[in-house]
Chains A and B, each alone.
Chain A
Amino acid sequence: MSVLIFIDHSDGHLKKASFEVASFGATLAKQMNTKANALVLGNVFDDLTQLGNYGINKIYQIQSDNFNHVDVKMFTSLIVQVVKQVDASVVLFSHSQTGKALAPGVAVKLNAGLVTGVCDLPKTNEGFIVKKTVFSGKAFAWVSVTSPIKVLTLNPNSFSVQIINENASVEPITVPIPNASVQVAATNKVTGEVPLSEADIVVSGGRGLKGPENWGIIEDLAHALHAATACSRPVADAHWRPHHEHVGQTGVQIAPNLYIAIGISGAIQHLAGVNRSKTIVVINKDPEAPFFKAADYGIVGDAFEVVPKLTAAIKEMQSK
Chain B
Amino acid sequence: MKILVCISKTPDTTAKIAFKNNNTQFEDAGVQWIINPYDEWYALVKAIELKEKDPSIVLHLITVGGADCDAIIRKALALGGDEAFRVDVESDDSYVIASQIAAFANKGNYDLIFTGKETIDYNGSAIGGMIAALLDLPYLSLSTQFEWNGTEAKVTREIEGGEEVDLVRLPAVISCQKGMAEQRIPNMRGIMAARTKPLKVITPIAVNALTHIVTYELPPAKAGVKLVPADDVAGLVKLLHEEAKVI
List the interface of chain A (C-beta within 8 A of B).
8, 10, 15, 69-70, 72-73, 76, 95-98, 100-109, 111-117, 129, 131-147, 181-191, 195, 201, 225, 236, 243-244, 246, 249-251, 253, 257-258, 268-269, 272, 275-276, 278-279, 281-282, 292-302, 305-306, 309-310, 312-314, 316-317
Q: How far is the CB of A46 from chain B (nearest CB, A)?
A: 15
Which of A102, A143, A144 has a CB less than 8 Å from the CB of B129?
A: A102
Which stretch, B44-52, B68-76, B224-232, touches the partner chain A?
B224-232
Residues 134 to 162 of chain B near chain A (Cβ within 8 Å): 134, 136-142, 144, 154-155, 158-162
Give the number of A-B contacts (CB < 8 Å).
Answer: 269
Contacts A108-B134, A182-B167, A249-B13; A187 near B211 (Cβ below 8 A)? no
Q: Tell me whether A299 and B230 are in contact (CB under 8 A).
A: yes
Contacts of B203 in A (CB 8 A): none
> Interface residue tally of chain B, by bracket?
35 or more
Alpha-carbon separation in the docked complex, A172 to B130 (Å)? 29
Q: Identify which of A76, A143, A182 gathers the most chain B CB atoms within 10 Å of its CB.
A: A182
Name 14 extra pairs, CB < 8 A, besides A101-B139, A281-B236.
A72-B139, A98-B159, A103-B126, A105-B129, A114-B130, A134-B122, A144-B211, A183-B166, A183-B168, A184-B165, A188-B162, A188-B163, A250-B120, A299-B233
Q: Tell me whether B160 and A8 are in contact (CB under 8 A).
A: yes
Which stretch, B78-86, B105-113, B213-221, touches the partner chain A?
B213-221
Q: Which 3 A-B pairs have the closest CB atoms?
A: A104-B129, A301-B230, A113-B210
Which of A104, A191, A292, A297 has a CB less than 8 Å from the CB of B128?
A: A104
User: A interface, by DSSP: helix, strand, loop or mixed?
Assistant: mixed
Q: Tell me whether B93 and A113 are in contact (CB under 8 A).
A: yes
List the interface of chain B (C-beta within 8 A of A).
11, 13-14, 17, 19, 37-38, 93-95, 98, 120-130, 132-134, 136-142, 144, 154-155, 158-168, 178-179, 209-219, 222-223, 225-230, 233-234, 236-237, 239-241, 244, 246-247
Q: Tell me whether A138 and B17 are in contact (CB under 8 A).
A: yes
Alpha-carbon separation in the docked complex, A146 to B96 (Å)? 13
Q: Tell me whether B95 and A108 are in contact (CB under 8 A).
A: yes
Which of B159, B161, B244 has a CB less than 8 Å from the CB of A258?
A: B244
Contacts of A107 in B (CB 8 A): 95, 126, 130, 133, 210
Q: How far is the CB of A271 from chain B (nearest CB, A)?
A: 11
Q: Identify which of B14, B167, B216, B236 gathers the most chain A CB atoms within 10 Å of its CB.
A: B236
Q: How far is the CB of B105 from chain A (nearest CB, A)?
A: 14
Contacts of A243 in B (CB 8 A): 144, 178-179
Q: Tell me whether B233 and A244 are in contact (CB under 8 A).
A: no
Q: Can you report 22 A-B residue pairs in the complex whose CB atoms are below 8 A from each other?
A: A72-B139, A104-B98, A108-B133, A116-B125, A117-B125, A135-B120, A136-B120, A138-B17, A141-B216, A144-B211, A144-B214, A181-B168, A188-B162, A201-B247, A258-B246, A268-B14, A278-B246, A279-B246, A298-B226, A298-B227, A313-B237, A316-B234
Which of B136, B142, B215 has a CB less than 8 Å from the CB of A101?
A: B142
Q: Tell me whether B160 and A97 are in contact (CB under 8 A).
A: yes
